[in-house]
Each structure stands twice: as structure tokens, then as C-alpha cells.
Structure 1
């Protein structure tokens, strides 16, 4: 599956639009990692527990978007965007979305 943030795939022609596709996930860390993250805010630096959580969430959201595109018969997704929002304290949603197409 070709995934791009642009409206076209360089060197390819969009021959068919398959439509909007998306994938999302809601992630949180367990209390032990939340405590470690809280301590890191005191001393400063990267909060790796949350960086890892968000990376995992992005990967899941993109995989679900790809699955949606595959079900529609697409071989590429153009105009891909990622968005995040806080659902509650220490819980985030990531959504990946774009336009499923067939390119040649």
C-alpha cells in the first residue's frame, strides 16, 4: 500500500477514487508508567512512556486505515493526515485518514 500526504503519487496516475478511509485508536498507559511519567515532569526531559504510547497508537491507526483501504480495493492512500485529541487525562485518540485510490 502506497501512503502519501500529497494529493498525488509521484510517477503514478490516479485512475480511480475509492473514497474516504480512516483508522483510529484510543490509548492509555497503566498506572505504573503514569507514575514514572509524572516523576519525569519534575526533572524534565522526554517522557518516553508517552512517546512510546503515541507511536504505538499512530501505528495502529495507520494499520486500520490501510485495512479500510484494502477492503475498498485500493492500492494507495493519498492526502493522509493524522490527528490526535485528549479523551480524558492520560488517554488520547489518534485518527489517521485519507483518500483511497487506485494508481497505475
Structure 2
């Protein structure tokens, strides 16, 4: 499955639009990451535990989006975008969405 943030795929023709596809995950912090984040906020710098958590969440969201596109018979997903939002204190959602297409 080809997936891209661009609206086209060089050298390929889009012959059919299968529809919008999405993948999301809501991820919550755990006490170990929260404790380390508190310490890190005192001295500054990247909070690697949270970076790793959001990277994992993004990968899960992409995987779910690709699975939905495959179930629609798509060859590719174009125009992929990501958004995040806070759901409740201590958790956030990452949403991946794009257009599933059939290539010629």
C-alpha cells in the first residue's frame, strides 16, 4: 500500500476514489512517564517517553487507516493528514486521515 501526504503519486494515475479513510488511537500516560516528565520539566529538554508514546500512537493510527483502505480495495492513500487532540486530562488522540484511491 502506497500512502503519502501529497495529492498525487508521480508516474501513477488515480482511476477511482474509494473514499475517505481514517485511523485513530487514544493514548494515555502512565505513572512512570508522568513521573519522568515532571522531573524533565524542572531541567527542560525533550520528554522522550512522551515522544515514543506519540510515535507509537501515530504508527497505530496509520496502520488502522491502511487496513481500512485495503478493505475498500484501494491501492494507495493520498492527501494524508494528522491531527491530535486532548480527550481527557492525561490522554490524547491522534487521528490519521486521507483519501483511499485505486491506481491505474
Q: TM-score range by the shorter chain?
A: over 0.9
Deviates more, 1:85-94 or 1:41-50: 85-94
Q: Which residue of 2 aligns with 1:55?
A: 55
Q: Which runs of 5+ in 2 are unaligned?
A: none
Please tell me the root mean square deviation across aligned C-alpha atoms, in Å: 0.8
* Structure-1-length-normalised TM-score: 0.96
Q: Which runs of 5+ in 1 are unaligned?
A: none
The separation in 2 between residues aligned to 1:41 and 1:98, in whole angstroms, is 35
Q: Which residue of 2 aligns with 1:70?
A: 70
User: What stretches of structure 1 move > 6 A for 4+ residues in a row?
Assistant: none
Deviates more, 1:59-68 or 1:83-92: 83-92
Aligned length: 104
Q: Which residue of 1 aligns with 2:28?
A: 28
The separation in 1 between residues aligned to 2:39 and 2:89, in whole angstroms, is 16
The separation in 1 between residues aligned to 2:46 and 2:57, in whole angstroms, is 18
Per-residue deviation, 1:90: 2.4
